[in-house]
Structure 1
Amino acid sequence: MTIQAVMFDFSGTVFRLEQDASWLADFTDEDGVAFDVEAQTEIVRRMTAPTGQVVQLSEEYQYAWDNRDLDPGLHRKIYLEVLQRSGLPAKHAHTLYSRLIDPHEWTPYPDTEAVLKSVSGKGLKVGVLSNIAFDIRPAFSSRGLAEHVDEFVLSFEEGAIKPDPVIFETLLDRLGVPPENTLMVGDSEEADGGARALGCPFALVEPLPTHQRPDGLLTALREHGVL
């Protein structure tokens, strides 16, 4: 089938929340011990993991975790809990959480701009589909990329999360392209790969640090004959 549209996941696919040593440079745990690089890396990973539970939770917080991408209030509640359970004092957890939900703190992959411009320039429809509880549009608009995206579908606005077919169907309907003609690109077999249940081809990319994945998107789209 000819690809007429491409749907992209956000975190770990076209943008990434990069570890910045300065964020945690002055942070210490409750005993006043500074976090080493390994601990810092794990904390950032826990904030951005697309699937899987990162700490054991009570029933109350389990509900918040399961529904975090549907409700900004639950998202804030559970990630502050996760950060504090990871050893961050409350004041540090609040500071770090504010960076997580700031779209300007997210870094595009080196080939994100080229891919979005190339796909839209060929006349294909472009959608961004994310399990997320804050507005990511400013991450694109501040870099002049929003004009290359036809539709954004965000879980907290739609009341559905991947891999629920409903959220894929929502974006497909707005793009006006059948699933068999729409490539889904994402970093999670479980969440993003759910598009295959509707008949969408799927391309998996690794959620590596941006400097370690200079052309992952370009490669994925070339392998599917899009570019």
Structure 2
Amino acid sequence: MTIQAVMFDFSGTLFRLEQDESWLADLTDETGRPLDIEEQAELMRRMTAPSGQLFELEPEYQYAWDNRDLDPALHRKIYLEVLRKSGLHPEQADALYDRLIDPAEWTPYPDTETVLKTLAGKGVKVGVLSNIAFDIRPAFTARGLDEFVDAFVLSFEEGVIKPDPAVFRILLDRLGAAPEETLMVGDAEEADGGAKALGCAFALVDPLPTVERTDGLLTAVREHGVL
């Protein structure tokens, strides 16, 4: 059937938290030793990876990890613990975490605006569905992209996370879209691919740096005949 709606993941799909030398260059471990480039890159990966537990955790922190995208307080708690376990100085961990949850620090992929604007212009419903514990809408508003999005569904506001079919159903209902006429685009098969359980089509994109993935979204929607 013809695709009438497209749902997009946020991190690694429409936007990416890029490694910025201006606020990573002075990072040190608890002894004061500067982190090298590889260690900085690994910190960014740990902060933005869609899934995959990196450490064995005490029960208190395991609960926070499992529920991090449902509660902002738990999200902060576990990611500060991840940064500390990664060897980062506690004060710098706080500062880096604050960067993570600042929508202004997130960079849209080169084709994000084109895809959202074109879909809206064609009358295709557009939704954004994210497992996340902070409000990402300002990232869209600041760039004038919010006008091309019909609905946002954020896990911490709804109390449910991908791949639970229920969260996809919430967005489908808000878009007024049938699953069989909807495409889900995301960077994580495990989470975003949950839309397939409802009968949605699914397109996987690679969460590469924005300079390396210039047309991943365009390719994804074109391959499903949307553009």
Task: Work out whether the TM-score is over 0.5.
Answer: yes
CA contact (8 A) 2:132 2:156 kept: yes
What's the CA shift string for 1:62-103, capped at 9, x where partnerless?
100000000000000000000010011110000000000000
Q: How far did residue 33 of structure 1 move?
A: 1.0
SS of aligned partner of 2:211: helix
Q: How far did residue 107 of structure 1 move?
A: 0.1
Match of 1:141 in 2: 141
Match of 1:17 in 2: 17
CA contact (8 A) 2:30 2:90 kept: no
Which residue identity lines up with residue 47 of structure 1 in the other structure?
A: M
Q: Write out aligned runs for 1:157-172 (5 A).
A: 157-172=157-172
Which residue identity lines up with residue 50 of structure 2 in the other structure?
A: P
Match of 2:55 in 1: 55
Q: Write out aligned runs for 1:37-116 (5 A).
A: 37-116=37-116
Paired with 1:98 and 1:105, the residues of 2 have a C-alpha distance of 10
Paired with 1:69 and 1:30, the residues of 2 have a C-alpha distance of 28
Paired with 2:122 and 2:102, the residues of 1 have a C-alpha distance of 31
Which residue identity lines up with residue 77 of structure 1 in the other structure?
A: K
Q: How far did residue 153 of structure 1 move?
A: 0.1
Q: How far did residue 112 of structure 1 move?
A: 0.1
Match of 1:152 in 2: 152
Q: How far did residue 226 of structure 1 move?
A: 0.5
Q: How far did residue 25 of structure 1 move?
A: 1.1
Match of 1:178 in 2: 178
SS of aligned partner of 2:189: coil
SS of aligned partner of 2:226: coil
- TM-score calculated relative to the size of structure 2: 0.99
Q: How far did residue 4 of structure 1 move?
A: 0.1
CA contact (8 A) 2:18 2:106 kept: yes
The count of residues paired between Structure 1 and Structure 2 equals: 227
What's the CA shift string for 1:89-144, capped at 9, x where partnerless?
11000000000000010000000000000011100100000000000000000000
Q: How far did residue 31 of structure 1 move?
A: 1.5
CA contact (8 A) 2:179 2:200 kept: yes
Q: Write out aligned runs for 1:120-139 (5 A).
A: 120-139=120-139
Which residue identity lines up with residue 128 of structure 1 in the other structure?
A: V
Paired with 2:160 and 2:47, the residues of 1 have a C-alpha distance of 20
CA contact (8 A) 2:117 2:148 kept: yes
- TM-score calculated relative to the size of structure 1: 0.99
Q: How large is the Cα RMSD of the aligned pairs?
A: 0.5
Q: How far did residue 58 of structure 1 move?
A: 0.9
Paired with 1:127 and 1:144, the residues of 2 have a C-alpha distance of 15
Q: How far did residue 195 of structure 1 move?
A: 0.2
Which residue identity lines up with residue 172 of structure 2 in the other structure?
A: L
Paired with 2:56 and 2:35, the residues of 1 have a C-alpha distance of 21
Which residue identity lines up with residue 75 of structure 2 in the other structure?
A: H
Which residue identity lines up with residue 112 of structure 1 in the other structure?
A: T
Paired with 2:168 and 2:221, the residues of 1 have a C-alpha distance of 19
Paired with 2:7 and 2:46, the residues of 1 have a C-alpha distance of 25
Deviates more, 1:55-64 or 1:7-16: 55-64
Q: How far did residue 209 of structure 1 move?
A: 0.3
Q: How far did residue 24 of structure 1 move?
A: 1.7
Which residue identity lines up with residue 218 of structure 1 in the other structure?
A: L
Deviates more, 1:16-25 or 1:90-99: 16-25
Which residue identity lines up with residue 146 of structure 1 in the other structure?
A: D
